[in-house]
Every structure is written in structure tokens, then in C-alpha cells.
Amino acid sequence: MNADIKNSTMPLLTIHHKTEYRYDRPVGFGEHRVMLRPRDGHDLRVLASELDIVPKPSSLRWIHDVFGNSVAIANFEAQSDCLTFNSTVTVEHYPLDEVALKPGDEAYYYPFQYDHEELPDLMPSILPQYSDPDGAMADWARQFLSDSGKTKTLDILVGMTHGVRKEFSYRKRHEHGTQHPLDTLSLKSGTCRDFALFMIEALRRLGIAARFCSGYLFVHGDKASGYVGGGSTHAWVRAYLPSAGWVEFDPTNGIVGNRDLIRVAVARDPHQAIPLHGTYAGPTAAFLGMDVTIRVVSAGEEAKVSAAC
């Protein structure tokens, strides 16, 4: 373990995530894919993980998807009018607030070049995935470039992160999926997933590799009025910089680095990082609704909750 990380503040966090599907009659269930387990790494360590599913699946297996995310695949034989997924995970989280880029590093100034050996692996994250026929996203991205010549790469990334936070309004949407980045730009509003996808596509217009990241936001008691988008799962951006590697940027809350962000999944596109999805066998009208409850608490807060019970 890196000494600087080991000596930094290491919050012990527990994530309680419960999803309940309700029906007006017993129905059958098809395959469900569950992507709720955080990704282990030098900045995040999973200490305990439990996934309780009711009714109990006939089979439950774990795989790593194409991006290395942990995915549980559940199959069912029983019928029920309710399907519940209850995930409890405890992690050690190592906050990294600074991006390590020095004046001599390749990516210190923009434009920069990726190593030719890394480029083939980065290309899917560099090539834009969504149309921009009139160049509106490209124009928005270019506003963060200096008119006087070289621009510090971090100035672009931090500028975009805070630019979305300042210019766009967070709003919950009940429609499924993520809206087109041009709609986000036009409406100047959206969800955390919408903002993340928009910033990713803006970075790709500049040739900077960027990926979608899904996980949880830890909202401190004294910051509850400052963070948005953390009532459910959260989404943000990972950009790849030579020497610094993959770095987190949360345009919804203006966070640079992984502070308060608990990474679960990374993907090229949001539809590849859906926390929970599956099918059921029954009339469409049988579905009554879905309830999601999520709490991310520190060890101290967890102890207070237990003492109060």
C-alpha cells in the first residue's frame, strides 16, 4: 500500500442498498443481473459484502464483465408478488483529492499524445459515441481551451467539471435510460448520469479518453445541502491521463478526485453499467412499482444508528 494513501484519512463506509419490485399477483422472474459490489483497488477495499435476494434464486453466480466489474447473475424458479434485492457492503475508502501531474509530464499541457502501446486499448473511450451534427458539444468543449496557446490539461477537466455544476440544473427524471448529450446541453438540466455522459462526450471531442462510472455518493451530515444526485446510485466521469492514470471527475457536484465517491462499475457507455435489471413473466399491468432505498454511512454514523435502535 502506498504510504501517502495509508496515512490519509480512511473512512470506513457501509452501503445499504435495497430494491423491491411489487406486483399485483404472483409472477415468474427471468434472469436478473446485479451490479452493486464496489470495485476493489488501491483506493477502495471491500471488507464485507452480502447480497440477500427474496425469493431465493434457484442459482446465483458471479462473473467479471468485459470491463472487470463484478456482476451477480440470478435465476429463479419460484413465483412471487414481490422481488427484493438487499445488498450490504462495507468498504475502506481512501480519499484522493489531488491529481498527480507535474510540468514535465506528457499530459500536463493539452494537446498531448497517448502512448502508442496504450492507444489501441483507449480508442473505444476516445471515439465519440453520440452524434453532434452541428458541433454544439465540440464548441462547448473548446471554450475551456486557452486563447493564448497551451492549456493545462487539468484546467480543462476541472473547468468542465465545475462548468456543468454551475451552468446545469440537476433534476430527477422518471424516463428510463440516459438522455442524449445534445438534449442535456439544450435543456441545461438532467440527472447525474446525463451530466456524466455529456462531459464524457465533450472530452472525447477533444481526444481525451473518458469512461462512465457508476457507484455511490457519500453525503456527510454537514454537506447534505451541498451534494445532489446521491439519493440513489450516483454517476460520474473517469478520464485517462498519462502518468496520472484514470482520474475521477463528478460534474454533478464539482468533485475532482475520488473524495466521497464509491466506485462500483466503469463502462464505455451508461447502458453497460446498470445497477440492477431483469425481466418478469406476467401481464404488463401486474407491475405495481419499484422502491429503492439507499444509505451510505460512516462507521461512526452506523454505530449511532445501531445504538438508537
Q: Which three cell numbers stand for residue 74?
A: 440470478
Report the pLDDT value the prediction gives residue 225, as an integer from 0 to 100: 47
Buried residues in 43-79 as b, exposed as e (16+ CB within 10 A): bbbeeeeebebeeebeeeeeeeeeeebbbbebebeee
User: CATH class for domain 109-259?
Assistant: alpha beta
Enumerate the domain spans of the chain.
3-94+273-308, 109-259
| First-to-final CA distance of the chain | 37
d(CA 128, CA 64): 25
List residues bridging with 296 in a β-sheet. Answer: 15
pTM for this structure? 0.91
Q: Give me the CATH code for the 3-94+273-308 domain, please.
A: 2.60.40.2250
- Judge whether 3-94+273-308 and 109-259 match in fold: no
Report the pLDDT value the prediction gives residue 58, as an integer from 0 to 100: 98
Mean pLDDT by 10 residues, the chain (309 residues): 45 95 98 97 96 98 98 98 98 85 91 96 98 98 91 96 97 85 98 97 98 94 68 91 95 95 97 96 96 89 45
